[in-house]
Amino acid sequence: MSYTIHIKNMVCPRCISVVTEVISKLKLPHLSVRLGEADLAKEPAKTELEQVKQLLAAHGFELLEDKKTELVERVKVVVIELIRSGEIENMQINLSEHLSEQTATDYHYLSSAFSEQEGVTIARYLVLQKIERVKELIRYNELTLSQIAYQLGYSSVAHLSAQFKQITGVTTSEFKKESTMPRKPLDKVL
């Protein structure tokens, strides 16, 4: 019987590689590792779980043991995946329905738990993540602002620009010119 562990701060494919290495190093048979969780072939002993916890912490991850925290982290992973994949532009349903489907949880409960734990609404978290993605795409200098707006589901460049200025305090042009303006790691966006 498989056993799923939930892991905080997994936000990218490299994180999956690191967690896979940690699990393999401990010689724990595993079925799969994906953003936010790993399926082990069987329930680990307490000592093994403690080793997993310590090794994950050494890499900036945290083993989640509280159901509400696991749920909040799952919401974060779904939002990040939506933005990073570009799927947000083609969503046929609204975010609340999508999150409810992905977590198999009522949106009102999700929203309440998320706000309580993170101190911001899910909608605000989505905006903050989108702005970090905009920063990244501007730095890559491969897409026009219009293409970025479309990819991230903005109704117009003007909407993206206004939201960018509101969140960062600078325009997209100023950000593009100023190469020293920092980006935030995805797990620190709040």
Q: All domains of the chain, ordered by start, with CATH?
A: 3-64 (3.30.70.100), 73-190 (1.10.10.60)
pLDDT of residue 186: 61
Q: Is the pLDDT of residue 188 over 70?
A: no
Do residues 48 and 28 touch, judged by C-beta distance below 8 A? yes
| pLDDT for the residue 179 | 66
Share of the chain above pLDDT 70, in %: 93
User: Is the pTM higher than 0.85?
Assistant: no
pLDDT range class, residue 87, cuts 50, 70, 90: confident
Q: Are 30 and 39 in contact (CB under 8 A)?
A: yes
Residue 183 scores a pLDDT above 80: no
**pLDDT tens for residues 10-38?**
888 889 999 999 999 999 998 999 988 99
26: left (phi over 0), alpha (psi -120 to 50) or beta: alpha
Compute CA distances 48 → 21, 32, 40, 43, 54, whole Å: 15, 18, 12, 9, 10
Read off φ and ψ for residue 80, nearest 5 degrees. Answer: -60, -45
Q: Does the structure show a pLDDT above 70 at 182?
A: no
Smallest Cα–Cα separation from 187: which of 78, 80, 59?
A: 80
Least confidently predicted of 10-14, 57-61, 121-125: 10-14
- Can you give the pLDDT at residue 43? 92
Helix, strand, coil percentages (3-state) for the chain, rounded to 5, are 60, 10, 30
